[in-house]
Chains A and B, each alone.
Chain A
C-alpha cells in the first residue's frame, strides 16, 4: 500500500458509513471498510471500482474475535491507521416507555454495538493508530445521548447506549490525549439511513450529504495557538457545527 492517508470506517455497508467511505475515497484516502452485511452489494461494487484503495474487512463490532481479526488484517496490510471512524450503530424500531415491557435482548444488543463496539475498536486499534500519523479517533454519537437535552419518554436502549458511549470516550480522551491522540465526538443529524434495520425515509439528511459534513469535521484540525489547544477539550458537535452539552 502506498504511503497515503489511511482510515478505518466501521458499519460501512450502507447509510452514513458507506457515505463516509465514498467521501474519503474522493478525497484521496485509502479506506479499510468494516463490513457487517456480506450480501449487501454497494460496498462490494465500490471496492471493485477502487481495488487498490478500498479494503473491505468483515467486521462485527459486537464480537471481540471479529474486531481482533480486523485489526490483525489491517496490521498485515498497512501496519497503521491514521483515522479510526466508529460509525456502526443500531436502534430499535419499537421504542418503549417504562410502562411497557422492555425487550431485554434488544437492549443488550444495542448497547453491545453502540457503546461497547467502539470501545472494542479503540482497544484493538490503539497500536495501529500509534503507528499512524493522525492518531485520531472519531465517534458517531447522537443528541439522544445528551443527558442535559434529554426529552424522551421512550427509546431507553438507544439513549442509554449513546450516553454510555460519550462517557467511554471521556475515559479514552483522558487516557490517550496526553499521548497526542485527538477526538471527534459527533452527532450526524437525522440521516435517511438503515440504523433501525430498514431505510428511514423521514430523515432530514441524505446519507451522502451527512457524510460530507461528518468527514469535513473529522479531518479538520481544531484551533491551536500559544498555550491554547482546542483539542484538549472533549466536545460533542453536530452536523451544523453546534456544540451539545453532555
Chain B
C-alpha cells in the first residue's frame, strides 16, 4: 500500500525539493500551495504527485483543499506543514515593527498549521499518524536569538507552544511529531533530503518534544 504525504507550501523551493524527494521514495504526494496549480505543475512530472490549491491563511481554502484531497485518498500518513514566512519583509528593532505584519506572521506561521491539522485529523486516524511542522531557530525561547523581525520570532514561538499542546494531546492517541528547521536556502537540496529521512524514520525518544535543525542538531524550544 502506498504511503501518502500531504505537503503545504509546495511552491517554495524547499517545499518543491521535499515533494520530489518523497515522490522518489515512492510515496504519493498531495502537494498544496496558495499559488495557482498551473504556476508550478510543470515542476512535477510524475503521476505520484497531485497538486491542490490551498492558502493556509484561510480556513475556507484549507477545508476546500482537504475536501478535494479526500477525492484522491481517504488516508494521510504524514502531514508536513510548512509556513508562509514573512522573514525578510520585516527588519529587527522595535522602531521598525509593523503591527499589521506581526498579525500576518501569526496568521500564517502559527494559525496556518493549526487550520491544516484541524482539517486533516479525520484523514489521519489510520496509518503513520505523523505531523511535521517547519519552524525556525528564531522562535526558540531557549536560544533567545536576536536579529530577526520581532513578529516573525513571536509567531514561531507561538507555533512552538501549539506544538507542545498537540504533542501532549495527540501523542496520547498514537501521533508522533517532527519539529524541523529547514535552514538556509543554498542548502535546500541537502536539507530536504535530510528532512524526508527524518520525517519518515523512527526516533528512539518520540515521547520527548524535540526540535531539530537540518543538520540534525537539537534546538531548545
A residues contacting B by CB (< 8 A) are 64, 97-99, 101-102, 104, 107-108, 111-112, 115-116, 119-120, 122-123, 126, 145, 147-148, 150-154, 156, 159-161, 163-168, 170-172, 174-176, 234, 246
| A98 CB contact (under 8 Å) in B146, B164, B169 | B169
Docked-complex contact B168 and A167, CB < 8 angstroms:
no
User: Is the Cβ of B146 less than 8 Å from the Cβ of A159?
Assistant: no
Report whether A175 and B146 are in contact in the complex, using a CB–CB cutoff of 8 Å. yes
**A175 neighbours in B (Cβ, 8 Å):** 92-94, 146
In the bound complex, how far is the Cα of B158 from the Cα of A123, in angstroms? Answer: 21
Q: What is the CB-to-nearest-CB distance from B197 to chain A, in angstroms, rounded to a whole number? A: 26
Which 10 residue pairs of A and B lie closest in terms of their CB atoms, listed nearest first?
A: A167-B157, A246-B141, A160-B158, A163-B161, A164-B154, A150-B164, A164-B158, A153-B169, A174-B146, A171-B150
Q: How far is the CB of B108 from chain A (nearest CB, A)?
A: 12
List B contacts of A97 (CB < 8 A).
169
Distance between Cα atoms of A145 and B156 in the complex (Å): 13
- B114: A residues at CB distance < 8 A: 98, 102, 156
Within 8 Å CB of A171, what residues of B? 92, 94, 146, 150, 153-154
User: Is B23 interfacial (CB-CB < 8 Å)?
Assistant: no
Whether the pair A176, B141 counts as a contact (CB closer than 8 A) is no
Chain A residues near B168 (CB-CB < 8 A): 150-153
Question: How many B residues have CB within 8 A of the partner chain?
Answer: 42
Which one of A119, A156, A167 lies within 8 Å of B99 (CB-CB)?
A119
Confirm or deny: B107 has a beta carbon within 8 angstroms of a beta carbon on chain A.
yes
Q: How far is the CA of A172 from the CA of B142 in the complex (A)?
A: 16
Contact (A111, B106) CB under 8 Å given A98-B166, A98-B170, A168-B153: yes
Contacts of B102 in A (CB 8 A): 115-116, 119
* A102 and B99 in contact, given A150-B161, A167-B154, A171-B92 (Cβ under 8 angstroms): no
Q: A169 → chain B, closest Cβ, in Å?
A: 10
Q: Mark B88-106, 1 if CB is under 8 A from A, else 0.
A: 0000111101010011001
Q: How far is the CA of A156 from the CA of B144 in the complex (A)?
A: 22
Q: Is the CB of B162 within 8 A of A160?
A: yes
Given A111, A159, A165, A174, which contacts B144 in the complex, CB threshold below 8 Å?
A174
Given contacts A122-B94, A151-B168, A176-B94, contact A108 B150 (CB under 8 A): no
Query: How far apart are the CA atoms of A103 and B36 in the complex, in Å?
Result: 28
In the complex, are the beta carbons of B165 and A153 less than 8 A apart?
yes
B118 sits at the interface (CB 8 A): yes
Q: How far is the CB of B76 from chain A (nearest CB, A)?
A: 15
Contact A152 B160 (CB under 8 A): no
Complexed CA–CA distance, A108 and B59 (Å): 13
Q: Which of A97, A120, A150 has the most CB of B within 10 A?
A: A150
Complex CA distance for A126 and B93, rounded to whole angstroms: 12
**B-chain residues with CB within 8 Å of residue A234 when the two chains form the complex:** 144
Given contacts A116-B99, A168-B150, contact A152 B94 (CB under 8 A): no
Docked Cα-Cα span, A152 to B164, in Å, equals: 9
Contact A170 B160 (CB under 8 A): no
B139 at the interface (CB under 8 A from A): yes
Distance in angstroms from B53 CB to nearest chain A CB is: 20
Whether B170 and A246, one on each chain, are in contact in the complex, defined by CB atoms closer than 8 angstroms, is: no
List 27 interface pairs A-B (beta carbons < 8 Å), by A numbering. Answer: A98-B117, A98-B121, A99-B121, A102-B111, A108-B106, A108-B107, A108-B111, A115-B154, A119-B94, A119-B99, A119-B102, A119-B154, A120-B99, A123-B97, A126-B95, A153-B168, A153-B169, A154-B165, A156-B114, A156-B162, A156-B165, A163-B141, A166-B157, A167-B154, A171-B153, A174-B144, A175-B93
A112 to B102, CA, bound (A): 9
* Contact between A147 and B161, CB atoms less than 8 A apart: yes
Most buried by B among A159, A165, A171: A171
CB neighbours of B161 from chain A (8 A): 145, 147, 150, 159-160, 163-164
